[in-house]
Amino acid sequence: MERRTFLQKGSLAGAALISSSLALRAGNNQGSYADKPFNLNYAIHEGMFANNAGKDFTDQIKFAHDQGFRSIEDNGMMSRTPQEQERIGKTLDTLGMRMGVFVITSDSWHWKTSLTTGKTEWTEKMIRDCKEAVEVAKRCRAKWATVVPGNFERSLPADMQTANVIDALRKGADILEAGGLVMVLEPLSDNPDLFLRHSTQTYMICKAVKNPSCKILFDMYHMQRNEGNIIDNIDRCWDEIGYLQIGDNPGRNEPTTGEMNYHNIFRHIYSKGYKGILGMEHGNAQKGKEGEIALIKAYRESDAFL
């Protein structure tokens, strides 16, 4: 047998063995990875393991813990009932897991022209949402919450829009700091109308807000689309990064499904001593139970950098 053929068959056999092992664990919960967490702290979201664990989010959390994951995040936490927020928080306490980000918003104001305008109505709305977010965080054990300033105000110069955003964020950060919560500003790539788009732009705003409760959410999927140069830009902005999120590009699915070398990125983040959470802000490349198992396998492979 030629060496290349032998190696290819060996690799396929190894992948099949890992997949069948994960499938067995997913099916009967025996011999799990519960005592073998990942080197970094990856956070699942609702629905990611619904086919293997069922529709209930707390069951999905327990399944994720059994596979070695140690955190969750939930963008829509503020829309849940207080009872559901508390139930999720207690589940995390029982399992020794952490809560990642939720989005600070009472509606979809962060997708509108908002904080850039400097209008009192938008600043007051953010202040109300920040006060509510502090109470939500207590129930679900959160320490970080996502903030997006909204869209450009095309009638104002860019520098004035930036000043308006900084002024509003200072007011929100004061409330969050008193409540033990950190806002993480997320530059996005979803559409060209969004004001916050680059890591260095967000870095400058955090420096201007000058509050430990205002940091950067560095979503590597969005930053790959907007600016690339992921490792260098993480290094440039490191002292203002409070939270990281994951998603391969193109496709916004798990690592190994696109062009990004997450094995190297994860190794670099680990080497910097990062002890925070990396949110799995992406979909599953494949459907069904098999797709969920493939996702777990992709994280095990990408996390195997030691």
Annotated active-site positions, please? 186, 281
CA 121, distance to chain mean position in Å, is 29
Q: Which two tokens stand for residue 128?
A: 């109300």
Contact present, 146 and 184 (Cβ < 8 Å): yes
Phi and psi for 40 in degrees, rounded to 5?
A: -110, 165
* Residue where the block lists tokens 């007051």: 124
Q: Which two tokens stand for residue 47?
A: 């629905």
**Residues 182, 100: Cα–Cα separation, whole Å:** 11
**Residues 283, 293: Cα–Cα separation, whole Å:** 13
Contact present, 151 and 103 (Cβ < 8 Å): no
Phi-psi region of 178 (alpha: psi -120 to 50; beta: other; left: phi over 0): alpha
Angle made by CA atoms 272, 275, 278, in degrees to the nearest 5: 95
**Residues 54, 58: Cα–Cα separation, whole Å:** 9
Contact present, 166 and 205 (Cβ < 8 Å): yes
